[in-house]
């Protein structure tokens, strides 16, 4: 249990079996499940372990978790009195010397850091060695008006770090063994083996090797999720599967994939509906609201349900198309709603 307070003389930190004394001005977690905690004394930050022993005595002006792992150990950003920053691990070992003006981690699955010296960004590994060809004008994971210039997500289905050089976007693959050259107007990290890119105002997809897999002919595309990607061209939407087979969905304002096997569609008249990946209709596009709901206790046969709502009428539909429940006049106060339920 963590008790955190600033400049509170009665502060204790209980780390399961350990106890840190109340002598510190501030106590912060070094990361979820970390072996050490960040503490402040006399305006400087250091690290203590669960036994209350110093791992790194307080000398840093800033110390914050970066959300990345290196060799199984959590990484922390470290700021010095000169205003420069570096990186240490949770055992206090220096990974990057504090010689940089800014530093970020874009993808927790990639053992690299984006660092800035002056106006130039580059990527360095945990040995403080710059990655060849990674110099960039902008490399910053925080959203801004210009977008996310360094970004990435961990996990089995998405990886990569974007960077910008001379106004063009490139991508560093998660293995850090290759770089997709910065020759695109925009590019996104890989999802399910495909990365979306934009060239001449149109979107397409590339395979993991960097070869073009889908010609850039779409106005907009979504990343692959649940093995499918929604794409729009001239107001008409299409669904791509992992084999890049295209299924036409027709004209629509918006298409999304909130659940495995479910496509939500908003037509031009505002009506919302739901379809399977194969294009079979689950809810006709005539509802004001369509939502995906989790399993219900009384209907365990359906792992998830679709809820359609319109003018006080509700309809619950299983993902196989079976109507589970219907409710009429739910908003009328002068009479009780009428329910028709079908177990199944």
Which residues touch 227 (CB under 8 Å, ≥6 apart)? 192, 241, 242
- What does the pLDDT read at residue 327? 84
Give the pLDDT score at 125: 78
CA dist 112 to 193, 218, 306, Å? Answer: 21, 33, 42
DSSP 30-73: SSTT-SEEEEEETTEEEEEETTS-EEEEEEESEEEEEEEEETTE
Q: For residue 275, what pLDDT is reported?
A: 92
pLDDT value, residue 272 = 95
Helices and strands (H and E) in the chain: how many: 0, 35
Please give the Cα distance from 69 to 324 (Å, whole number).
46
Spell out the per-residue pLDDT of the chain, length 344, in tens. 444 444 444 344 444 444 455 567 777 776 655 678 888 888 899 998 877 788 899 999 999 888 666 767 788 899 999 999 999 988 889 989 999 998 877 555 566 787 888 877 777 877 777 765 566 555 544 333 333 333 333 333 345 677 777 788 888 765 445 678 889 999 988 888 899 999 999 999 999 878 999 999 999 999 998 899 999 999 999 999 999 999 999 999 999 998 888 999 999 999 999 999 888 899 999 999 998 886 655 555 556 788 899 988 888 888 888 888 888 765 544 434 433 444 33
C-alpha–C-alpha distance, residues 18 and 320, integer Å:
52
């Amino acid at each position: 249990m963590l008790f955190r307070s600033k400049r509170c003389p009665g502060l204790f930190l209980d780390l399961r079996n350990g106890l840190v004394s109340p002598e510190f001005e501030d106590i912060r977690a070094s990361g979820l499940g970390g072996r050490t905690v960040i503490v402040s004394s006399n305006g400087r930050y250091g690290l203590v372990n669960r036994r209350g022993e110093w791992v790194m005595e307080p000398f840093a002006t800033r110390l914050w978790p970066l959300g990345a792992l290196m060799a199984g150990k959590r990484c922390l950003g470290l700021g010095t009195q000169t205003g420069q920053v570096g990186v240490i691990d949770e055992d206090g070992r220096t990974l990057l010397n504090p010689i940089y003006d800014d530093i970020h981690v874009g993808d927790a699955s990639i053992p690299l850091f984006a660092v800035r010296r002056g106006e130039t960004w580059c990527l360095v590994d945990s040995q403080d060695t710059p990655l060849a060809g990674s110099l960039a004008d902008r490399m910053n994971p925080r959203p801004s008006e210009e977008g996310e210039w360094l970004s990435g997500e961990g996990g089995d289905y998405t990886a990569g770090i974007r960077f910008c050089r001379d106004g063009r976007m490139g991508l560093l693959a998660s293995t850090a063994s290759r770089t997709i050259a910065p020759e695109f107007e925009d590019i996104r990290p890989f999802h399910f083996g495909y990365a979306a890119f934009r060239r001449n105002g149109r979107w397409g997809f590339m395979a993991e090797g960097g070869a073009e897999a889908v010609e850039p002919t779409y106005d907009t595309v979504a990343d692959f999720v649940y093995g499918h990607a929604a794409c729009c061209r001239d107001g008409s939407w299409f669904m791509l599967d992992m084999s890049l087979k295209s299924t036409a969905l027709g004209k629509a304002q918006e298409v999304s994939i909130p659940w495995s096997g479910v496509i939500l569609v908003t037509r031009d008249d505002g009506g919302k509906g739901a379809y399977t990946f194969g294009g079979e209709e689950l809810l006709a596009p005539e509802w004001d609201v369509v939502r995906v709901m989790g399993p219900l206790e009384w209907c365990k046969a359906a792992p998830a349900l679709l809820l359609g709502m319109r003018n006080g009428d509700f309809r619950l539909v299983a993902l196989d198309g079976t109507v589970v429940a219907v409710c009429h006049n739910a908003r009328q106060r002068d009479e009780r709603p009428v329910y028709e339920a079908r177990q199944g």
